[in-house]
Amino acid sequence: MNSSYHRSPRRTPRRRLAARAALSIAVAACGSPAPNAPPAAAPAAPAAEYRATVRWTGDGVPHVVADDLASAGYGQGYAFASLHVCAFAEQIVKVRGERARFFGPGPDNAYVDGDVAIRSLDVMGIARRALASASADARALLRGFADGYNRFLRDTPADGLPPACARAPWVRPIAEDDLAAYVVSVGMLGSAGYFLGDIARATPPASNGWAFGAERTANGRGLLVANPHFPWDGPLRFYESHVTVRGDFDVYGANLLGVPLVSIGFTDRVAWTHTFSASRRVVLYRLTLDPDRPTRYRIGDRWHDMTARQVAVDVRLPDGRIERRTHTSYTTVFGPVVESERLPWTGGQAFALRDVSLPNQPFDQYLAIARATGVDGVRRAIADYQGTPFVNTIAADRDGNVWYGDGSAVPDFTPAGAAAWALALRTVPEVRAAYDLGVVAADGALSVFALANRNPARPFSIPLAHAPQLRRRDYVLNANDSYWLTNASAPLTGFSPLYGPTGEPASLRTRMNHLLVAEVERFTIDAAKRQIVDNRALSAVLLREPVVARCRRGGPRIARACDTLAAWDGRFSVDSVGAVLWRELWAELGDDPWAVPFDPRDPIGTPRGLAPAPARGPDPVVDAIARAVDRLRAAGIDPYDTPLGAVQYTVKAGTRYPVPGSLAREGSVNPVAYRKRHDSALPRATTRPEPPINPATGLTRDGYAVDYGTSFLLVVGFDDDGPRAEAVLTYSNSSDPRSPHFADQTARWGTANPWRPVRYRAADIDADPALRVVDLREPRAR
């Protein structure tokens, strides 16, 4: 569903906009200004110059040390630019609405459409308003980050930049409002930015997060497993860093490209991670239009006029000339008007989106988390800011406490509106269908569906006090299903259905998470490392043996397939023989191969068992195995003796690397995928032959291409001396192919031991024989 802003149907031809994320920013222009955040710690007195030390360890991680926040941002910005200057510079072009100027119209006019959306919605203006609501500390951090990035550009000749952007005219200095605009666009990841693509086929980010407390760890202290699943190239990569502001905080972890500080990581007292929330964060309002004036819509007894905005964008043509194009878009009190084949703008109706996640400003939230002394401090930071509007938070602290909370931006209906919508959810099929796709559908003509404004942290969204959360001493976990099964022994219920369903089947991955956690009585760092890279798929755990038994009845044609599956251990590791056969077989079995249906009284144990063979006719399991064998042979792959790593791969600078992991529907905690979309004007690192031989599995003659999956994998525990951690960044910490850290961790990811120790203590950093120290100083211009 490629939705678009729409011109009036009676005045101009329709134009489709493919830039999903930019479109949703219109909601911010129609809503309230960013909230006034609680005051942060008093900022350090500004110095006359930036002073930062970047200590590069042999694993390619920058450890930034400074005496004030601005200098810390400066050091982090400089280090970040040395790792990812090209990828980030291209994203700044996007948020400035200049992609078409530098890269041409783009595939299917995508860059023109994206620039139109960015400029129609005044993204920079929204970013400046978000900055105005930020604390002095947050603004100092951003200003320093931007100036550090710019320092790297000044220090590096244009022809000394990485090949992807060497001498490129679009690599230019940035200001803090550029940085804020980019972060605003990232904040739309789980709301309208996601919806405006084809929601039915999109691959939203996923994650696993485990937190173990005193009752489930060997030493009685907290332990955290962070396992976000994100794209492996483009703007949604993570970069790893360590930021220390003397006398303030000392935080280690990862963040998305170009976002200052750390969003997943730890300090000496607490560790936290995020998972993509199952909440519904966008309201799709159906507008009732005036039949004589199609840009006029009704709310209750009153008519309202849409607001038109005309913008111009520059487009580079194939001959190098620049052509200026104009466009008119429309917004409502709810948000932008969108149009697609499923959401037509007719003479009688149109559709508008309301995204309560905007404007977003996560900087003060993550400063507060970096200063937190335990899980209660993390909870307060989320409650005060709700600055990352599409995630759950999972945290563990050194005292053995754990906490889960869904701090996402969920639309807050009034009690009457909530009751009316809940009734529609039960009785109106279209409302239920939209809900199943992650969208709240409502009739914009009914004033009862106006949102309440009772949340100072994020207007028109539900306050954290009324959101699902759980504080315990044993464990909490989430794997992108709803809050319901955060702890299997204490299911959560009674919250708004907008936070996701309860009493419905969990994904195989969620169930596999619970199985792996239940297998260990008392966790240590080593036990957590072993379980999170276990690579067993629940589909195989539950059904491999009965499938093999049925296979044995299939005769000589599939006898070798039976032997292969019988010998397989059910894992999707790179050396697993049988995994590729199971993948193609599982796709053939369909969505309901179970003998025992789902039972909400046993949500972790059901559904289970293999449905029996029919009394007459062919056995569908035997037929599925035969089809799987034939399909693999058609792709030139031996069905019986091929290890997964020989055919499942990612590509970096032309080199193939084997990748472990299952497809999501196969049910391991390590899912992999090949994304349908690539939000960058730079080339994809990994490509595959199109179309695939089997669209359901992504099988091609080259095997299974991967550019999405486990990204920053971190295990951190606490002992009497503080935190101890091990990690792996699967796609490595630099996107510069000339760097020794471009593929070093990618090469390790498929091995039996992909882990590396995290150097957090100053003594450990000093002891690194590959330590390289860079001292940065520069007068401050402001």
Q: Known catalytic residues?
A: 207
**Edge-to-edge strands, sheet with 391-397:** 469-472, 402-406, 391-397, 270-276, 264-266, 249-256, 238-245, 62-66, 49-56, 772-779
Distance (Å, whole) CA 511 – CA 1: 31
Phi-psi map region of 698: left, alpha, beta (phi>0 left; psi -120 to 50 alpha)? left
In three-state secondary structure terms, 375 is helix
CB neighbours of residue 39 within 10 Å: 10
In three-state secondary structure terms, 151 is helix
Q: Are 631 and 693 in contact (CB under 8 A)?
A: yes
**Which of 358, 28, 397 is closest to 213 using CA atoms?**
397
Q: Are 69 and 89 in contact (CB under 8 A)?
A: no
Handedness of CA 340, 346, 349, 352 (dihedral sign): positive
**Which of 773, 781, 765 is closest to 79 using CA atoms?**
773
The residues, ordered by sequence, that sit 6+ positions from 754 with a Cβ below 8 Å of its Cβ are 533, 713, 728, 730, 745, 748
The pair of three-digit structure tokens given for residue 149, joined into one six-digit string: 């990035």
The pair of three-digit structure tokens given for residue 438, joined into one six-digit string: 């992650």
Distance (Å, whole) CA 46 – CA 33: 28
The pair of three-digit structure tokens given for residue 469, joined into one six-digit string: 């959360």
The alpha carbon of residue 781 and the mean position of all alpha carbons in its chain are separated, in whole angstroms, by 36
The pair of three-digit structure tokens given for residue 263, joined into one six-digit string: 């969003």
The alpha carbon of residue 308 and the mean position of all alpha carbons in its chain are separated, in whole angstroms, by 32
The pair of three-digit structure tokens given for residue 212, joined into one six-digit string: 């173990």
Distance (Å, whole) CA 367 – CA 40: 8
**Which of 107, 110, 123 is closest to 4 using CA atoms?**
110
Bridge partner residues of 738 (DSSP): none
Q: Where are the alpha helices (DSSP H) in 620-696?
A: 620-634
> Residue 80 carries which side chain, given as an amino acid letter?
F
Whether residue 607 is preceded by a cis peptide bond, meaning omega within 30 degrees of 0, is yes
Distance (Å, whole) CA 682 – CA 685: 9
- Give the N- to C-terminal CA distance of the chain in Å, as an integer: 46
Q: Are 267 and 250 in contact (CB under 8 A)?
A: yes
Handedness of CA 701, 704, 707, 712 (dihedral sign): negative
> Residue 142 carries which side chain, given as an amino acid letter?
L
Handedness of CA 727, 729, 730, 734 (dihedral sign): negative
DSSP3 helix / strand / coil % (the chain, rounded to 5):
30, 25, 45
On the 0-12 / 13-18 / 19+ scale of CB atoms within 10 A, 320 is exposed
In three-state secondary structure terms, 499 is helix
**Which of 227, 273, 278 is closest to 484 using CA atoms?**
278
For the CA atoms of 531, 536, 541, 545, what is the dihedral angle to 10 degrees?
Answer: -140
Q: Are 353 and 24 in contact (CB under 8 A)?
A: yes
Q: Where are the alpha helices (DSSP H) in 222-374?
A: 363-370
Distance (Å, whole) CA 64 – CA 75: 6
The pair of three-digit structure tokens given for residue 474, joined into one six-digit string: 């044993």
